[in-house]
A and B are shown apart, each in its own frame.
Chain A
């Protein structure tokens, strides 16, 4: 492989664009796994569900996928709140979240995936939008709009979430629930309600992330599985529940994956995130910006 400067710059740029998208994908897991300690491995499946909803609406009504996903987000919030309620009653309350709670989410992942397969088959689906085709050329650098638009909205999403978490009462309560549930109860706040809200928000982000995903690449039901390792690697690497850390880690993983697939071949890219995960677990389990 001849080393060329253009190639490197382009790989870096697309890595950063993809990285911002990864941050949006991981934001929900940072909330649920990082803050609430709920190992929601079904999160990627909900993202795929979001992709398919964006697909259905944009094909039948011609609505923009991102607009659709924002409109659908409340429904995802309700879904998340419902799932948390079931999870709380059946596992957290009984103190069985570790083994059976994990199996529960694994089952959800599986059910979502198989249901999508039964309804839509295993064909790749894609959406149409004005910004999917064109590419900006700045000198030698290509910026595909289908990566740029999700990147911008992702950054906006992360910024909004961070603001909500640090500036509003509910957000601060969510941060507090991770530290001391009992103390929260003393402040006359119901920790279960706060957790339900937080988990709802976490699933609501999956709706947006799903729309980004189907803009960036064609989607079929099992695509989500490739994201499980990646998402948790980013979450752990970023420092469990720190959104700025998540963004940083996502950009790192995005850039390294992009470099790997440019210089070694795309089939090696999935190994990057796992390498990061192992590295993070072995060297710095607290993550980049962890406390």
Chain B
């Protein structure tokens, strides 16, 4: 399918969801849907670096919070419209992502992961000490009650997040099928071999960190308007970090569908659990699901589906089961 067509279809689906939410006539759906969409963007962004290149970013919350706090800072300066804030947040997080990658990506993969964790702590320290954006007390952002063509402000926020999610998914799909995506895949599979065959690995990795960081920042930018009161501990919350890792891994990391499925499933599940049980329990569920999936189904839901689809014809042909995951499968003599 051509990308413009894909984008159009995504837009139509997004529009249909929006129309359905309007038809249901309950604002709660917009509030809950916004969070799910936000996770769609976050997990797609994480997957560009984590799934395509194989570099784990534990600092999603930091990039998200940077986007949110650049909105707070700009809002205090001059309340621009949200799309402008989105771009500002994306630029700030993208630049930080680039710097981060430049410092750590020349080393082994694990260093990058650890550095992202540390980055989250340091950025939180900076924000806590930065009085202009409220410091540890947090910052209030008063959002307008209504906005011209949309009515309720939350509808407007929902629509923006929906557009961002559609854009993120389309971008991920385009990357996947481009030279860039193949380059990313070579890094994931064998960085040394890729480097030796002339793939500019460092440059590709920097592109990935920058894009991934920028998307996370954009996901965070409208957040202060959504929440109304932003505090460092909520913006840097571990739940963003764990969710943006868990969702792609549970869905499947090799294609754009995985993060989408993961985010919608896990995001809705969490919304349900928060309402019905408690927010601490729903985080426990995410942690358990994450550990369970990486052990039992390393390729996520997509992997399970593929396995199921591939097994069927085999069963008919004559039980020729080959475990695709066995690493030390040696090509044996011809039967």
Contact = CB atoms under 8 A, between A and B. Distances in A.
Interface of A: 33, 39, 41, 86, 90-91, 93-96, 98-100, 102-104, 106-108, 110-111, 113-115, 117-118, 222, 225-226, 228-229, 232-233, 236, 267-268, 270-271, 273-274, 277-278, 281-282, 285
B121 A110 contact: no
A59 to B, nearest CB: 23
Given A99-B54, A118-B284, A274 B291 contact: no
A117 B237 CA distance: 15
B304 interface: no
A271 B117 contact: no
Contacts of A232: 114, 117-118
A40 to B, nearest CB: 10
B107 A281 contact: yes
Given A99-B50, A281-B103, A111 B291 contact: yes
B294 A100 contact: yes
Residue in A86, A98, A100, A106 with the greatest tally of chain B CB atoms within 10 Å: A106
27 contacts: A41-B58, A41-B113, A98-B110, A99-B54, A99-B56, A102-B56, A103-B245, A103-B249, A104-B294, A106-B56, A106-B242, A110-B283, A110-B286, A114-B280, A114-B284, A118-B280, A232-B117, A267-B125, A268-B125, A268-B129, A271-B126, A273-B118, A277-B115, A281-B104, A281-B111, A282-B103, A285-B111
A100 B298 contact: yes
B294 A228 contact: no
Contact of B115 (A103, A115, A222, A278): A278
Given A106-B242, A110-B238, A278-B103, A229 B118 contact: yes
Contacts, number: 126
Given A225-B238, A281-B115, A274 B121 contact: yes
Contact of B290 (A110, A115, A267): A110
A106 B290 contact: yes
A86 B118 contact: no
Given A110-B242, A270-B125, A94 B110 contact: no
Contacts of B104: 281
A111 B117 contact: no
B227 interface: no
Given A114-B284, A225-B121, A39 B238 contact: no
Contacts of A93: 327
Interface of B: 50, 54, 56, 58, 103-104, 107, 109-111, 113-115, 117-119, 121-122, 124-126, 128-129, 136, 238, 242, 245-246, 249, 253, 280-281, 283-284, 286-288, 290-291, 294-295, 298, 325, 327
A266 B45 CA distance: 34
Nearest to B135: A267
Nearest to B116: A229
Interface of A is mostly: helix
Residue in A107, A108, A229 with the greatest tally of chain B CB atoms within 10 Å: A107
A270 B128 CA distance: 11
A195 B104 CA distance: 27
B124 to A, nearest CB: 8
A280 to B, nearest CB: 10
Given A106-B56, A110-B238, A118-B281, 14 more contacts: A39-B110, A90-B294, A90-B295, A93-B327, A95-B327, A102-B56, A103-B245, A103-B249, A103-B294, A107-B246, A107-B288, A222-B238, A267-B136, A270-B125
A41 B98 CA distance: 23
Contacts of B280: 114, 117-118
Contact of B122 (A90, A106, A110, A274): A274
Contact of B121 (A96, A98, A113, A228): A228
B113 A102 contact: yes
Contacts of B294: 90-91, 100, 103-104, 107
A225 B107 CA distance: 23
A193 to B, nearest CB: 19
Contacts of B128: 267
Residue in A95, A108, A118, A274 with the greatest tally of chain B CB atoms within 10 Å: A274
